Amino acid sequence: MQTDVCVKPEEDTNTNWGFVKQKLPPKIWKELGAEKAKEINLPFLANLKVFGKFEEINVVESEETEVEDDLPF
């Protein structure tokens, strides 16, 4: 089954950030034609939710130190 994943730049009113929807295979799309294929309502399979947000991490640049490498390659 082919799917489309659509991601939204902002959270909607139901706290969704996008969705996954079934997509017609290209062979069927071509057989039906673009206009008839668009009339077919395929199901939504899932909503995209963020369960934990990433926090910004401040990276502190440190002086690079040489590490002795005992690997043979």
Residue 41 falls inside a structural domain: yes
Residue 21 falls inside a structural domain: yes
Mean pLDDT by 10 residues, the chain (73 residues): 90 91 91 90 90 66 64 69
pTM of model > 0.75: no
- Give the range of the structural domain holding residue 8, as residue numbers without chain letter: 2-48
CB atoms within 10 A of CB 53: 5
Rounded to 5°, angle at Cα 50 from 15 and 3: 90
Residue 22 falls inside a structural domain: yes
H-helix or E-strand spanning residue 48: strand 44-48
Which has the closest alpha carbon to 5: 15, 17, 14? 17
The number of folded domains in the chain is 1
Write the DSSP string, 2-23: EEEEEE-SS--TTS--EEEEEE
Residue 10 falls inside a structural domain: yes
Residue 56 falls inside a structural domain: no
Residue 66 falls inside a structural domain: no
Which pLDDT value is given to residue 70?
A: 72
